Amino acid sequence: MGLYARMAALFFVLTGLLMVVGYAIGLYFGDPLGFMLLGLGFAGVLNFVTYYWSDSIVVKMSGARIIQQSDNPALFAVVQEVANKAGIPMPRVGIVNSPQPNAFATGRGPQKAVVVATSSIIQTLTPTELEAVIGHEIGHVVHRDVLTSSVAATIAGVISYIGNIALYSMMFGGLGGSGNNRQGGNPILFVAAIILVPLGATFVRLGISRGLEYNADEYGAKLTQNPGALASALQKISAKAQTRGMPAKGGNSPGGPSPATASLWIVNPFRGSAMLELFSTHPSTQHRVERLRKIGLQMGVYVQ
C-alpha cells in the first residue's frame, strides 16, 4: 500500500472512530447527532482559524522573527534556490534564536508560506544538508500539509471533545442534570468507548503526522537529488536535539517556542522520556534514514 493510500485509510479509520463514539454516546444519552454536531462545530471553527492564520499564529508560537535578505543572505539564497526548483513563490523567512539546528515550514499554501530555521543551522549543517532540509520543508508547503494536519486534528478533536462532554454529563447526572435522557445503554461499554476511542484517534492522528514527515523526506530528497544529505542532516539535528533539547516557552524560558509547535519541526526539538516517544509526531530518525537509503537506491544514489 502506497503512502497516500495508507493516509487515506487512516482518515477512514478516524471517521469510523467518530461514528463509534457517537453511536456509544447515542445509546446512553439518546442524542448522538446533537453531540456530534456540537463537537464538530467547536473543533471545526478552532481548526479553521488555526489553519487560515497558521502562518502568523505559528511564527508567534515558535518565537521566530521574520527577517529580510540582508539579515541572513546565505539562508535566503538556499530558500530561494529550493523554491525555484519547486516552482513556488519565494516564502517568507524566519529565524528562531537557538543553538539547536532545526527548521519548519507553515502557511496554508505556497502563496502564504513561511520557512523558519534556527540561528545555528547554517553553522551546523553543510550547504548540501541545509538545501536538503529546506527541500523537506518546501515539500510540506507544496503538499499543503497544514490543511491535512488541520483536518486530522479536527476529526480527532471532535472525538475527544464529545467524549469529554459525555463523560462529564454522565458524572453529573446526564444531560441537563438528570438521567431522563438515558436510554438504558451499557454504562461499562459507554465509559470504555469514550476513553479508548479518543486514545485510538490520537494514535491515528499521530500516524498521519508521521506519514506527512515521510512524504516530505521523499520530496526533499528527490527535489534536491541528494537523499544522503537529508539523511546526514536528520542525524545531526536529532543528535543535537537529544543532547540539548530546545528550551520550551514557560518556566525558565519564557521566550522559547511553545511545545505545541513540536510536530512542525523537521525533528522534534524537545527532549522527552521513552514513554513520550509512543506519542511522537515524527518517525524515528533511524526509520527515516533507512527509508532515505531505499529512496537513494531507487534514484541510483548511495546513502551511507
Task: Classify burial at 278, counting beta carbons within 10 Å of its beta carbon; exposed 0-12, middle 13-18, buried 19 or more.
Answer: exposed
Cell numbers linked to 293 = 537509503
Q: How far apart are CA 244 and CA 181, in angstroms?
A: 54
Q: Are strands 103-106 and 92-96 parallel, antiparallel or unpaired?
A: unpaired
Q: Are strands 65-67 and 114-118 parallel, antiparallel or unpaired?
A: unpaired
Cell numbers linked to 48 = 479553521
Q: Name the residue with cell 453529573.
A: 172
110 residue type, one letter: P
Q: Is 49 helix (H, G, I), strand (E, B) or coil?
A: helix
Q: Name the residue with cell 537509503.
A: 293
Positions marked active-site? 137
